[in-house]
Amino acid sequence: MNNLEVRSTNKKRIINFLYEKDNATKQGIANSLHLSMPTVSLILKDLSAHGLVRKTGTLKSSGGRKPATIALSYGAKLSAGIEITQNHLRFVLIDLNGNVLHYKKVRELFQNDDQYFRKIAEYLKNFIAENKVDPDVILGVGIAFPGVINTKDNILDYSPTLKIKNLPLNIPAKYIPYPVMANNEANLAGFAEIWKIENIKNAVFLSINKGVGGAIIIDNKLYNGSNGRSGEFGHMTIVKNGLTCSCGKKGCLEAYCSTKVLTEPNFNDIDEFFAAMKMGNQYCVEKWKIYLDYLATGINNIHTIFDSDIIIGGEIDQYLEQYPDTLYEKLSSFDSFNEPCRYLHFSRYGDKASAVGAALLFVNTFLSD
């Protein structure tokens, strides 16, 4: 490594150190990272000039000058995330700590044409402006797609939900005046859910919307599989010769646990379904029971394979969280090890998780490159 590389590496190490530890001192940084005080001072000066660190106070002195405490300014850089769905767009702006500073959801039907992608860029520009965010602090824009992304060739291979195949990702990116990265919505949501959670290193994320997908996280990293198709839990077969799935196969989990199973043909969306159930609609109550039977089967299969925490996200998440007892009962009855079902968690970012995960791509790059 040449001097410049050494300095850049040390800078990243200091940023990462501060990321884990608020209120550090120069001496503390130097000791922990085995760097000299002049090196630490120089780098902190540079970071401070870019607004990335701030003084938070002073420590009591044991004689001599009181040492100043330093923290990272999480708001110095922001990242934007966009989730594209069949009918909506979600926008988030997050800081370096993954806090959602601004959020917006707009109804916009997906169209595979220039006009649509130009509109997304226009929405983004307005979203940034209406929240009075300095466009220069934005690191980049992550996009979450409901489909299989080939990150190597930068192509959206296919998306049954959007009904498209082989979309080069430079097409949606070309109107956006920032660096753009894209990935699959469930992968990104899973990535967001375990972001900087100390005690979760391995987890499976199960995303339940109109489509059912997921992500596998091992040692805090996404496990992509050989073809980027890992964690497609929606297409596990749970009923032999069962109902036809959106993928064309029969008996997939998605054919039984998509939110469409609950909403079609009587309700416009999941909120309407649960509003009716709350009013005591027996049709909904029965449907929900059957739905949970299949969902528990799917969750139990996933848990049998991974023996890890399972995080449930997507549209269904908030409702499962409201009515968890039946699901827990069903899961306990499956469990051959007779353990209480402590492995099941509900999403922390809710329906924003995919957009947040997309935005985190740039935070992650910022911290690790």
- Closer Cβ to Zn ion, 100 or 247, answer by number: 247
Could you give the string, one character per residue 69-108, with x where binding to Zn ion holds by CB under 5 A and - elsewhere?
----------------------------------------
Tell me, what DSSP letter sits at residue 273? H
Q: Return the residues of window 132-161 that contact Zn ion according to CB under 5 A.
A: none
- Closer Cβ to Zn ion, 87 or 244, answer by number: 244
Q: How far is the CB of 305 from Zn ion (least distance, A)?
A: 18
- Closer Cβ to Zn ion, 93 or 215, answer by number: 215
Cis, bond preceding 146 (omega within 30 deg of 0):
no
Comparing CA positions, the residue from 43, 42, 99 lying closest to residue 74 is 99
How far apart (Å, rounded) are the C-alpha atoms in residues 288 and 280?
12
Q: How far is the CB of 359 from Zn ion (least distance, A)?
A: 29
- Using a 10 angstrom Cβ sphere, with 0-12 exposed, 13-18 middle and 19 or more buried, the burial of residue 75 is middle
**Whether 54 contacts 68, CB under 8 Å:** no
Q: How far is the CB of 197 from Zn ion (least distance, A)?
A: 30
Could you give the string, one character per residue 242-281, with x where binding to Zn ion holds by CB under 5 A and - elsewhere?
---x-x-x--x-----------------------------
Residues written for the chain: 369
- Closer Cβ to Zn ion, 104 or 250, answer by number: 250
Residues facing 148 on adjacent strands:
158
Q: Which stretch binds Zn ion (CB under 5 A): 28-36, 141-149, 202-210, 234-242?
A: 234-242
- Closer Cβ to Zn ion, 66 or 249, answer by number: 249
Q: Which stretch binds Zn ion (CB under 5 A): 37-45, 113-121, 194-202, 230-238?
A: 230-238
DSSP E strands: which ranges in the chain? 24-25, 53-58, 68-72, 78-84, 88-95, 100-107, 138-145, 148-150, 155-159, 164-168, 180-184, 203-208, 212-218, 221-223, 309-313, 344-346
Chain residues in the site for Zn ion (CB under 5 A): 235, 245, 247, 249, 252
